Amino acid sequence: MNIYLIGYRCTGKTSVGKYLANILGWPFLDADVELVNEHGITISEIVATQGWESFRKKEKAIVKKLSSLDKHVIATGGGAILDEENVTNIKKSGISIWLRATPETVKNRILKDETTEDSRPSLTSKGLMEEIEETLIYRNPFYEKAMDFFVDTDNLDIEKVCLAVQKKLNDIDAL
C-alpha cells in the first residue's frame, strides 16, 4: 500500500510528503520530479514545446509506474486526478489524501515559491487569482472523487498537517 498526496499546486504535497515519509520510514517520491528526471527537461519546457496533452500522457506513465510500488509516500501532480486511469491506479495501490487550501493561501504560497516558473506553468492565460479560483472550481469534484479523505492545510505547518494525516490514517486502520 502507498500513500498518495493529491491536491492543487502549493497545498503541501511535497513538503508534507517528505516529512510523512520520514516519520513512516518509507521512501518519498514526487511524480513531477520523477517525470522531469525521466525526460530530462522541466515541466514548463514539456508544456511549451510539446503541449499539455503530451505532458499529461507522460504523467500518466509515471503514475502507472509509481503505482506498482509498495510502501511509498507519493506526491502526485496537481492535475493527475483529471485522468480516470490515474485515479484507478492510485486507488488500487493505496490511500489517497487530498491536501486542500483556500485560493488565497495557494496564491500566497505560489508567490513565495521560487521554483514556480519551472515547475508550475500557467494553466490559463488569466491572472493568478482568477486562474486558481477557476481551476479549483473545475478540479474540486475530481479531487473529491479520487480522495479517501482530506486535510485542510491552511494555517497549519508541515508537522501539524502530518499529524492530522497520521490521525486519519490510524482512524481507518491504514497504518
3-state helix/strand/coil string of 65-89: HHCCCCCCEEECCCCHHHCHHHHHH
**Per-residue confidence (pLDDT) for residue 22, from 0 to 100:** 97
Assigned domain for 146 exists? yes
Burial label, 95 (beta-carbon count in 10 A; 0-12, 13-18, 19+) = buried
Assigned domain for 171 exists? no
Q: What radius of gyration, in Å, describes the C-alpha atoms of the chain? A: 15
pLDDT tens across 90-121, in order?
999 999 999 999 999 999 998 888 766 555 56
Is residue 29 within 8 Å of residue 66, measured between CB atoms? yes
Other CB atoms within 10 A of residue 84 CB: 11
Assigned domain for 129 exists? yes
Assigned domain for 136 exists? yes
pTM for the model? 0.92
- Work out how many domains the chain is built from and give that number: 1
Which position has the higher pLDDT, 116 or 20?
20
Assigned domain for 175 exists? no
Which amino acid is it at 28? F
Is residue 72 within 8 Å of residue 25, measured between CB atoms? no
Give me the CATH number covering residue 87.
3.40.50.300
Strand partners, 115: none
Is residue 109 within 8 Å of residue 64, measured between CB atoms? no
Is residue 41 within 8 Å of residue 85, measured between CB atoms? no
The residue segments making up the domain with residue 31 are: 2-164
Assigned domain for 72 exists? yes
Average pLDDT score, the chain: 93
Give the three-state DSSP class for 74: strand
**Per-residue confidence (pLDDT) for residue 114, from 0 to 100:** 72
Grid coordinates belonging to 31: 511524480
**Per-residue confidence (pLDDT) for residue 173, from 0 to 100:** 83
Assigned domain for 174 exists? no
Contacts of 51-56 with C-beta under 8 Å, sequence gap 24+, read 56/82, 56/83
**Per-residue confidence (pLDDT) for residue 63, from 0 to 100:** 98
Assigned domain for 170 exists? no
Crossing angle of helices 43-50 and 31-39, in 10° steps, is 60
Minimum mean pLDDT among 40-54, 70-84, 93-107, 112-126: which range?
Answer: 112-126
